[in-house]
A = this chain, B = another copy of it.
Amino acid sequence: MKTPKKPAADRTVTIKDVAREAGVSAMSVSNVLNGRGRISEATADHVRAVVERLGYRPSVAARRLRLSQQWTIGMLIVVEDPDFLSDPFITAQVTGLTNYLTAHSYSLILRGIKPSDFRTTGLFQDIEADGMVAILSGEQEQREWFIQELSTLRVPVVLMQEQRLPDEADCAIIRQDDFGGGRQVGEHILATGARNCWVLLPQVEWAAMRARMAGADSAFAEAGASELKIIRCGDESFEVSYDATLQALRQGPPPDAIIGGNDQMAIAAMKACLDAGFRIPEQVQITGFNAFEIWRYVDPVLTTVRSAAHALGERAAEELIARFKSGQFRQREIVLPVEFQPGNSTRSPS
């Protein structure tokens, strides 16, 4: 037996095949499928039947080339940690983004990049998208450099959690009210009578975390309380935050309260305090930030701030799609509210 001829079914079915089979022109098929132009119902039905029978699926690549539109958003996560989705604050943003995009027939291309790699090669230059969303970390100067690089793609850019609107025109920032949340944390702690407080921050700072601390700081400054003492952790991991807290506790008297840069760090600090023999919240109070699922896992339940991460992602998608339609961002700076959420790791205000 000879090698059988490649069956027709194995070739890609194109719009021409459908047209030929249906006895119409390719453009009629296109019109039927896209609901454009005027086509008689009879023809349309017939075309649809042939499409179904042949299993025709339009080529997205051809459509993209023809219309120079990609129906795609690129999401860039620029963090040092290769396990870039381990932070629930990031995953919630990604989820919100992709859920909104899917509902509006857009695709999401997801990519994590290390800042160090970013400098050497354009690791996102091959992403052909109608717009980009980026989560940046690191120093201000580095972030500004990223933003400039991003602008070379010549597509609209939304920056998540960036605090300062860049000069680039076709760019919007969207963030939650970290400063306000931090301020509420500070006020709450002050109201419990705490005065001497620590702040737990990672070496590589997030702009958002800095804003949280600035908020707490402003409350302390107004109240005339002593300055917040910064405890630097190598990173945000449980282990490192735990060790940093324990070491700080060994070097002197404990603080009245520890303000964690996020929930993860706060929980590590809580464990460190407990292991060092302090009672929470009687001796040391603890606060976190973000209120993701883990915040309930600990005992006592963490006082924290409920963040709008999922909403941030959704909103980014919404604004971007609106931008595509109107030609410019309707708002270049968007701030979503956060909600203070008292737990049992702090005392009731006296």
**A residues at B contact (CB < 8 Å):** 12, 55, 57, 59-62, 64-65, 68, 70-72, 82-86, 88, 91-92, 94-95, 98-99, 102, 105, 107-113, 123, 125-128, 152, 237-238, 264, 267, 271, 274, 293-294, 296-299, 310
**Residues of chain B lying within 8 A (CB to CB) of residue A128:** 59-61
**Residues of chain B lying within 8 A (CB to CB) of residue A123:** 102
Known: A59-B65, A102-B123. 6 other contacts (CB 8 A): A61-B68, A85-B85, A102-B113, A107-B126, A238-B293, A238-B297
Per the bound structure, the CA–CA distance linking A125 and B105 in Å amounts to 11
Check B105–A126 contact: CB distance below 8 A.
yes
| A273 nearest CB across to chain B (Å) | 13
Known contacts A109-B107, A110-B98, A111-B98; A61/B65 CB under 8 A: yes
Per the bound structure, the CA–CA distance linking A235 and B213 in Å amounts to 36
Copies in the complex: 2
Q: Is the contact region of chain A dominated by helix, strand, or loop, or is it mixed?
A: mixed
Known contacts A296-B238, A310-B83; A68/B12 CB under 8 A: yes
Check A82–B99 contact: CB distance below 8 A.
yes
Per the bound structure, the CA–CA distance linking A61 and B99 in Å amounts to 24
Per the bound structure, the CA–CA distance linking A61 and B127 in Å amounts to 10
Check B95–A126 contact: CB distance below 8 A.
no
Known contacts A86-B88, A128-B61, A299-B299; A108/B110 CB under 8 A: yes
**Residues of chain B lying within 8 A (CB to CB) of residue A60:** 126, 128
Contact of A61 among B61, B111, B294 (CB under 8 A): B61
Q: Give the 7 A-B CB pairs with smallest separation, nearest first.
A: A60-B128, A85-B91, A61-B64, A61-B65, A85-B95, A110-B110, A107-B109
**Residues of chain B lying within 8 A (CB to CB) of residue A62:** 65
Known contacts A98-B112, A110-B108, A111-B98; A57/B298 CB under 8 A: no
Chain B residue with the shortest CB-CB distance to A293 = B238
Chain B residue with the shortest CB-CB distance to A153 = B57
**Residues of chain B lying within 8 A (CB to CB) of residue A108:** 109-111
Check B102–A107 contact: CB distance below 8 A.
no
Per the bound structure, the CA–CA distance linking A109 and B297 in Å amounts to 32
**Residues of chain B lying within 8 A (CB to CB) of residue A293:** 86, 237-238, 264
Residue among A57, A70, A71, A95 facing the most chain B CB atoms (10 A cut-off)? A95
Check A55–B152 contact: CB distance below 8 A.
yes
Check A91–B82 contact: CB distance below 8 A.
no
Check B111–A102 contact: CB distance below 8 A.
yes
Known contacts A61-B61, A64-B61; A102/B95 CB under 8 A: no
